[in-house]
Amino acid sequence: MLARPGLVSFDYVRARTPGEVVQLLAEHGADARLMMGGTDLLVRIRDGAVRPRLVVDLKHLPGMRDILYQQQAGLTVGAAVTMNQLARHPAVVAHYPLLAQAANSVASYPLRNRATIGGNLCNASPCADTAPPSYVLAGRIVVHGSAGEQEVAIADFFRGPGQTVLQPGQFVTAIRFPPSPAAASGRYLKLGRNKAGDLAIVSVAVLGFPDASAPSGYRFRIALGAVAPVVLRVPAAEEWLAHHPPGAETFARAADLAAAAASPIDDVRASADYRRAMVRTLTRRGLNAVADTIAAPTGSA
Amino acid sequence: MSEQTTNPVGKSVPRVDAYDKVTGAAAFTDDLQFGPGLLFGRAVRSPYPHALIKRLDVGPALELRGVKAVVTGADTPGFIGLYLKDRHIFCTDRVRYVGDPVAGVVAASEEIAEEAARRVVVEYEELPAVLDPLQAIQPDAPLLHPDLGSYDVVPFIFPQPGTNISNVFRVRKGDVEGAWAQCDAVVADTYRVPHIQHVPIEPHVAIARWDLSGEVTLWSSTQSPFAQRDLIAHTLGISQGDMRVIGNYIGGGFGSKAGVSMEALAVAMARQVPGRPVKVRMTREEEFYCCFVRQGLVARVKIGGTKEGRILALQVEYYWDAGAYTEYGVNITRAAGYSSTGPYNIPNVKTDSYCLYTNHPVGGPMRGFGMPEIHWSIEQSVDQLAEALAIDPVAFRQRNCVQGGDVIVTGMTMHPHGLSECIERVAQRIDWGKKEVPSAPHKRRGKGVAACWKAPAMPPNPGSEAWVRFNEDATVSVGVGGQELGQGAFTVAAQVAAEALGIPYEWVRIANPVDTKYSPYEWQTVASRITWSMGNAVKAAAEDARRQILEIVARYWDQDPGDLDIRGGEVVSSKSEQSLSLRNLVVYGLPLPDDQGWIGGPIIGRGKFMPTYVTGLDPETGQGARAVVHYTTGAQAAEVEVDLETGRVELLCIAAAYDVGKAINPEQVHAQLEGGVVQGASSALLEALTFQDGRPVNASFVDYRIMTAVDAPQRILTDFVEVPQDDGPWGARGVGEHPMIATAPAIANAIYDALGIRFNDLPLTAEKIYLALQGA
Ligand SMILES: Cc1cc2nc3c(=O)[nH]c(=O)nc-3n(C[C@H](O)[C@H](O)[C@H](O)COP(=O)(O)OP(=O)(O)OC[C@H]3O[C@@H](n4cnc5c(N)ncnc54)[C@H](O)[C@@H]3O)c2cc1C
């Protein structure tokens, strides 16, 4: 059925404290939905995919829109930090450029003023742009619930398309990233059907850094978006890269391994065959680009 | 009035609507305020591509608080359609596409109307659907319109009752069968063009009100206020004198707002609630398949030529996927037939162009009216033949392109025009023949060229009317019925009026919005005909006013009107060197000497234009003295770079040149060419409305991608040639649609040059190219 011309009615509460959120969720259960920018939620309400009676706006909770960076502790990004905020924050640009690249690749400038990193991750779309970088940067999701706060590793957070480990009553307040490995370099490569504004049909995040404990002298982390129900790390390729000297041949082989690991589907955006092939292309390009910048003497992460 | 631009024709004066549009003051239809009495309408739409309506129960909708009325097919039994009256406003017994309206709900808010529409109970019996034009033409295909034989139709359209063929146009010229043997090379191929959508930034919107007096007013975002008045009045039994259509500024039309699509729904709904305005507006999703889409096409082409480089014979079959109803499709089919050679002089031609009903959305006019679709196949076939004959594609086109004086495909004699020069210019501008070095080892570069032609496709006698009325200070109001779609029609009208009157451009005001109650008649703002046809009417009206003024002043000065002129807003005499300001005299007239009375009075000039020379064509052979008013010709050349590892095409440069006869406003011509190139490039690389079992699966901007500024060609080089049209104002002819026609085939030819792979089906997505490279 066609989408509605507007939204069905619902009640809207702008929450002031985490406690209020917990209480509202306990009271309303599945009838309540959490919202930050609303760029996923409101679209789904209009499409009729969800029909909440109550929408609880979390983005005004204390600290939700803060970005904190400390050399030792790393980066804490409030869940309601917008993509534009993230893409321009000096500490993010300096120490986690991969994250800034991904944030900047989302949709269009006006949308990035509303879209948040927390919403992007909680929405759990396989093509969410901040997800693959969060994997290679070892992000941890800060979850608030009735029992207080806990952290979940990003790799344990997603359960499938649109599904996370969040339990009823829980919500996300921040994402933490440990300090990047020394001299690390990262690349986020996103392929859409056109150059701007599209959802990823394939995306690849690559992080590389010197590591004396690796036989090759380097470690690489690779995460793939939009080619499996959840973001995929590619251990086989990462292993290969740890054991073989960096260079075109090694990267090509690693890209093949990444392509083999992907389990893409055919859909209206692209065929599985094309997606798999693009995993190869993007992984190889990402590795080459990262290798170039790690090798550069002045290169910092 | 600080600037004073005299003789503005040929000058790039600023647009008359620029200030209002830039500041946001310009009123679009949805901006109009109707107060608290405004009601909203929503349509109940078919979820099936083809089904019988077995039961309709509107009761549950009427029970909802805030619902004012529900209208169904029983309330609108008549047929509507521009050339072939083949549809009801609301379906009566059968639905023919997903989205076909079966009922309309009127309510106090759009939300209530929507909720109520969802409560209308419709039971359907699904029928087998026809989802491909080649299936539609099979003798055993399910029939979509069993009553085709009883529909009203204009004389030049030929429906075939008992089939899904709503029109067929044939050309039989020379001896195609005999010619193949004389050809040194013959190539044959099949090309496919998918449905695409116009995606105007402003979706369709209409507000209708039936006054208790019987006057019916429709405010709509429309390219065709007068055609809407005529068609809707006819179907609903309203006198044209009581039907009033008001068309405000339009946020893009590209053909989707021509004729009647959703506007009749609003009028039929408003009839149920006399005195109350009812607003109906399309969501973006509805825009994709509940108004018009561009028709799909399967084209079979066989073309042959000699090693001297002459095209000898052409045989084409066009199978148009026209969708559930035709509004314009039957005439697109006809235009495709009579232009089926492309801009080439080919002595032996056999063409069969079929308009086929399918259970797809209604195929409507879209920028180019069939020409982008057929040139997709023609211009690639011409390249294929050139290659088979080992002749350079530019040289091959130069050798075969139609010249003034040639007898073209329909037997008409071609007027003078500058196609050869256009081809030459675009070839020059992209350094044709020079191999370029790709920017990276995994990339390939290529260049391609395509030529095109297009005639205004319309009935033989579409008229234009205009008036020019003076104000006290000698500013003038110019009444027109053509619409400002963003193409600059009002600016051109103001330039034409000022030039013909002899007053500065800045003194002209366009009397908009177009209102059929007050504005002069205009058939429709389609077919790239407005600068030419409406321009002629405005020019005639201005000349009429000018003549009146000169006669009065001549009497006042006791001179011969032939010795007088209007220059810079003053009447001047070449004989006595007297001059007289137009101020006041254009309203109050002039006093006779010695207080002996007054002469003259308010000046209003009227003008009209209607082509009178277009003849019929023989239904068996497509031959006749004059098929069309004229053709606008032009060419484009593309330079592309293809990434072998992703399949993505970078458009490095597109050069476009068209013969516009006379550029009334050169800057607007350049802008029109640029816009057309981008829209053409978008259709080439990205756009297709896709269906699964007749249901659109990408009817939103999430998955129907269009070109953005960063995807657009890096360089667009636009150019025009001016070989005057004998009956155009200062020689002008239209160029609104043409810039999109040659773009896709030029890009395809460039990709072939880069990769050696020919793509027969649009669009040329990165995925399609990449996968073809793997297969190659
Ligand atoms: C035009 C358009 C283009 C887009 N393009 C892209 C793109 O290129 N790349 C991309 O990745 N995404 C894209 N998106 C999707 C969307 O914008 C992003 O996912 C965005 O980051 C979502 O953030 P938000 O704050 O708007 O989330 P919301 O819509 O507010 O929430 C998203 C989901 O998360 C839940 N949620 C929100 N906050 C919390 C919380 N604190 N704890 C638990 N659950 C919560 C909500 O209930 C909802 O289910 C696009 C969307 C649109 C409309």
Among chain A, residues having any CB pair with chain B shorter than 8 Å are 1-6, 8-9, 191-199, 268-271, 273-274, 277-278, 281, 285
pLDDT tens column, A246-278 = 999 999 999 999 999 999 999 999 999 999 999
Q: A13 exposed, middle or buried (CB, 10 Å; 0-12, 13-18, 19+)?
A: middle
Domains located in chain A, CATH noted: 11-57 (3.30.43.10), 67-177 (3.30.465.10), 201-291 (3.30.390.50)
Q: From chain A, pick out residues whose CB is under 8 angstroms from the CB of B709.
A: 196
pLDDT score at A146: 86
Contact B376, B208 (CB under 8 A): no
Give the nearest partner residue to B111 out of A6, A198, A278, using CB atoms: A6
The residue to which tokens 């359209």 are assigned: B157
* B737 catalytically annotated: yes
Distance CA B271, CA B78 (A): 15
pLDDT, tens only, B653-684 = 999 999 999 999 999 999 999 999 999 999 99
Q: Which of A204, A203, A243 is nearest to A221 (CA)?
A: A204
Chain-centroid distance, C-alpha B192: 21
DSSP, collapsed to helix, strand or coil, labels residue B26 as: coil
* Inter-chain residue contact A270 with B767, CB threshold 8 Å: yes
H/E segment holding residue A157: helix A154-157
Q: Does the CB of B707 have a partner CB in chain A at under 8 Å?
A: yes
Report the amino acid identity of residue B605.
Answer: G
What is the rounded distance in angstroms from the CA atom of residue B455 to the CA atom of residue B472? Answer: 41
Q: Is the dihedral of CA B725, B731, B734, B735 positive or negative?
A: positive
Probe ligand 1: pick from A120, A157, A170, A269, max atoms within 8 Å of CB?
Answer: A120
- Separation of alpha carbons B569 and B567, rounded Å: 5
Rounded Cα–Cα distance for residues B551 and B565 (Å): 11
Residue-wise pLDDT for B379-406, tens only, equals: 999 999 999 999 999 999 999 999 999 9
Whether the per-residue pLDDT at B614 is higher than 70: the answer is yes
Q: Across the interface, do B708 and A2 touch by the CB < 8 Å criterion?
A: no
Structure confidence by residue, pLDDT tens digits, B416-457: 999 999 999 999 999 999 999 999 999 999 999 999 999 999
Q: Which pLDDT band holds residue A295 (cuts at 50, 70, 90)?
A: low
Q: How many CA atoms lie within 13 A of B664 on its CB side?
A: 33
Ligand 1 contact via A232 beta carbon (within 6 Å):
no
B198 three-state secondary structure: coil
Instruction: Give ranges for CATH 3.90.1170.50 in chain B.
Output: 32-127+202-251+257-289
Dihedral of the alpha carbons of B574, B579, B582, B586, in degrees to the nearest 10:
-70
Three-state DSSP state, B313: strand
Nearest alpha carbon to residue B527 among B631, B397, B651: B631
Measure Cα distances from B718 to A300, B428, B634, B650, B654 in Å: 46, 12, 11, 19, 8
Cβ-contact A187, A286 below 8 angstroms: yes
Q: Which of A12, A20, A21, A39 to mutate to test the pocket of ligand 1 (most atoms within 8 A of CB)?
A: A39
| CA proximity to B267, closest of B304, B233, B300 | B233
CA–CA distance, A32 with A25 (Å, rounded to integer): 6
CATH 3.30.365.10 domain range(s) in chain B: 18-27+462-609, 293-402+411-459+615-775
A159-218: pLDDT as tens digits = 999 999 999 999 999 999 999 999 999 999 999 999 999 999 999 999 999 999 999 999
- Identify the pLDDT of residue A44: 95
Residue whose CA is at the smallest distance from ligand 1 atom 28: A38
Q: For residue B563, what are the contacts with CB-CB under 8 A and spacing of at least 6? A: B554, B573, B574, B575, B576
Residues 39-68 of B with CB under 8 A from A: 42, 45, 47
In this prediction, residues B591-613 reach a mean pLDDT of 97
Q: Give yes or no for a contact between B225 and B245, defined as CB atoms under 8 angstroms apart.
A: yes
* pLDDT tens, position by position, B335-390: 999 999 999 999 999 999 999 999 999 999 999 999 999 999 999 999 999 999 99
Query: A273, B771: Cβ pair inside 8 Å?
Result: yes
**Would you give the DSSP letter of residue B147?**
T
Query: So what's the pLDDT on residue A35?
Result: 98
Fold of the B293-402+411-459+615-775 domain: Aldehyde Oxidoreductase; domain 4 (3.30.365)
**Whether this model's pTM surpasses 0.95:** yes
- CB-CB under 8 Å, B765 with A3: no
**3-state SS class at B344:** strand
Contact criterion met (CB < 8 Å) for A4 and B771: no
Contacts of B358 (CB under 8 A, 6+ apart): B130, B131, B132, B133, B135, B136, B144, B164, B296, B321, B322, B323, B324
Of B67 and A6, the one with more pLDDT: B67
Tell how far the Cα of A82 is from the centroid of ligand 1, in angstroms. 10
pLDDT band at B67 (very low <50, low <70, confident <90, very high): very high
Residues B512, B513, B518, B521, CA torsion sign? positive
Q: What is the pLDDT of residues B37-66, one digit of tens each?
A: 999 999 999 999 999 999 999 999 999 999
SS3 B396: helix
* Cα distances (Å, whole numbers) of residue A8 to A5, A50, B566, B647: 9, 11, 63, 42
State which H helix or E strand residue B567 sits in.
strand B564-567
Name the 3-class secondary structure at B126: strand
Give the pLDDT confidence of B105-144 residue by residue, as tens digits.
Answer: 999 999 999 999 999 999 999 999 999 999 999 999 999 9
**Do the Cβ atoms of B767 and A5 come within 8 Å?**
no
Decide if pLDDT at B573 tops 60.
yes
Helix (H, G, I), strand (E, B) or coil at A145: strand
Residue B636 to chain A, least CA–CA distance (Å): 23
Cα angle B682-B684-B685, degrees, rounded to a multiple of 5: 70
Is B698 within 8 Å of chain A by CB?
yes
Q: Provide the CB-side half-sphere exposure for B776 (13 A, CA).
A: 14
**What's the rounded Cα separation, in Å, for the pair B684 and A194?**
12
d(CA B433, CA B450): 15
| Residue B93 pLDDT exceeds 70 | yes
Single-letter amino acid, residue A248: A
* Orientation of helix A272-295 relative to helix B766-775, angle to 10°: 90
The C-alpha angle B106, B111, B114, rounded to 5 degrees, equals: 60
Given this model, what pLDDT does residue B776 score? Answer: 67
Phi/psi for B184 (5° steps) reads: -85, -20
CB of A122 shorter than 6 A to ligand 1:
yes
Whether B118 sits inside 8 A of A1 (CB atoms) is: yes
What distance in Å separates residue A193's CA from the closest CA in chain B? 7
Distance from CA of A89 to the nearest CA of B (A): 25
Task: Encode pLDDT of A18-59 as tens digits.
Answer: 999 999 999 999 999 999 999 999 999 999 999 999 999 999
Separate counts of helices (H) and strands (E) for chain A: 12, 14
The Cα–Cα gap between B469 and B545 comes to 8
Residues 6+ apart with CB under 8 A from B477: B468, B469, B471, B509, B510, B511
- Judging contacts by C-beta atoms under 8 Å, the chain A residues touching residue B697 are 268
Please name which of B285, B248, B289, B196 lies closest in space to residue B740, comparing C-alpha atoms.
B196
Task: Give the number of other CB atoms < 10 A from CB of residue A71.
Answer: 8
Chain A contact for B727 (CB, 8 A cutoff): no
CATH class of B18-27+462-609: alpha beta
- With tokens 């969708």, the residue in question is B323
For the residues of A56-121, what is the DSSP string, one character each? Answer: EE-TTSTTTT-EEEETTTEEEEETT-BHHHHHH-HHHHHH-HHHHHHHHTSS-HHHHTT-BHHHHH
Structure-block tokens of residue A46:
């209009």
In the predicted model, what is the mean pLDDT of residues B301-313? Answer: 98
Task: Give the span between the Cα atoms of A234 and A240, in whole angstroms.
Answer: 10
The pLDDT of residue B751 is above 60: yes
Q: Chain B partners of A198 at a C-beta cutoff of 8 Å? A: 705
Name the band, by pLDDT with cuts 50, 70 and 90, for residue A286. Answer: very high
For chain B, percent of residues with pLDDT exceeding 90: 99
pLDDT at A297 over 50: no
pLDDT over threshold 60, residue A301: no
pLDDT tens for each residue of A94-116: 999 999 999 999 999 999 999 99
Ligand 1 centroid – CA A187 distance (Å): 22
* H helix intervals, B558-705: 585-588, 666-685
Is there a contact between B771 and A271 if contact means CB atoms under 8 Å apart?
A: yes
CA dist A243 and A216 (Å) reads 5
**Which CATH superfamily includes the segment(s) B32-127+202-251+257-289?**
Aldehyde oxidase/xanthine dehydrogenase, a/b hammerhead (3.90.1170.50)
pLDDT at A144 over 90: yes
Chain A residues in contact with B122 (beta carbon < 8 A): none
Can you tell me which atom of ligand 1 is nearest the CA of A173?
41
Closest C-alpha to ligand 1, atom 1? A107
pLDDT at residue A294, as a whole number: 87
What is the position in ligand 1's atom list of the atom closest to the CA of A42?
29
- Distance from residue A88's CA to the centre of ligand 1 (Å): 19
